Amino acid sequence: MDKKHPHKCHKSIFINKDFSIHRILLDRDKFIWLGSVYLSLGSPTQIQLLFKKIYENIPQNEWKFIILAGDFNVNLLNSSKKRELLICLCKQFKLELARTYKNTHLKSELDYVIHGNGVIFDDFEIKKSPSDHNLILWDIQIPIPKLKPYLKLPNRKLANHVTIKALLQSKNATQFLTHIGESTN
């Protein structure tokens, strides 16, 4: 990666014509999934499509590093089927809602963040904006994912030779593991 621009969009997932989710690679094994969400209607179909795309495209072990912020057009201040669907899907995906519990658009709370449990939302500030929605400034902490160790084989030719020899001499998995173990001694 370029030292001037260390962050790189590694993958993008198209959700609808208004937004996509992007996997931002911060370093070798450091990443975050970001999306600036706009669900034009906040309909059950749009909500289900959002979670379907997450399920199909983002590995489950990476859900804890998802941040989806924006205008969901689902009012969290009032009870509704859309609100219950959104909350239910968040629970199923082990995602959390970072909310203001305040009006972000007229007398509605339409703007909030859905995030994984690997991201910590501390405090927020609401400001007026030129838009019809208020601006929300969040203080967040994004812990760095643990690095996966690389397995380096000191002698690849020998490893291939031992594996092939063990495969040819073995009649079952137990014998295979025994032959591998004997070859490394």
Give tens-digit pLDDT for 80-133: 999 999 999 999 999 999 998 888 988 999 899 999 999 999 888 888 889 888
Lowest-confidence segment of 2-11, 37-46, 157-166 by average pLDDT: 2-11
Q: Count CA atoms within 13 Å of residue 136 on its CB side.
A: 25
Separation between Cα atoms, residue 47 and residue 89, nearest integer Å: 9
And the tokens for 70? 């924006």
146: pLDDT strictly greater than 70: no
Region 43-50: what's the mean pLDDT?
95
Task: Show Cβ contacts of residue 163 under 8 Å, excluding neighbours closer than 6 positions.
Answer: 180
Which whole-number Å values give the CA distances from 70 to 6, 20, 24, 65, 173, in the listed order? Answer: 25, 12, 18, 17, 52
59: pLDDT strictly greater than 80: yes
33: pLDDT strictly greater than 60: yes
Q: What is the pTM of this model?
A: 0.72
Separation between Cα atoms, residue 169 and residue 164, nearest integer Å: 9
51: pLDDT strictly greater than 90: yes
DSSP code, position 4: S
Q: What band does 3 get if pLDDT is binned at 50, 70 and 90?
A: low
Distance from the Cα of residue 117 to its chain's centroid? 10
Average pLDDT, the chain: 87
Q: Identify whether the C-beta of residue 22 lies closer than 8 Å to the C-beta of residue 34.
A: yes
What are the residue ranges of helices labelled H in 15-131? 44-57, 81-92
Letter for the amino acid at 31?
A: F
17: pLDDT strictly greater than 90: no
Q: How confident is the model at residue 42, as a pLDDT?
A: 94
Q: Identify whether the C-beta of residue 179 lies closer than 8 Å to the C-beta of residue 166.
A: yes
Burial classification of residue 22, based on how many CB atoms lie within 10 Å of its CB (0-12 exposed, 13-18 middle, 19 or more buried):
middle
38: pLDDT strictly greater than 90: yes
Domains, in order of start, for the chain: 8-141 (3.60.10.10), 151-185 (no CATH)
Letter for the amino acid at 11?
A: K
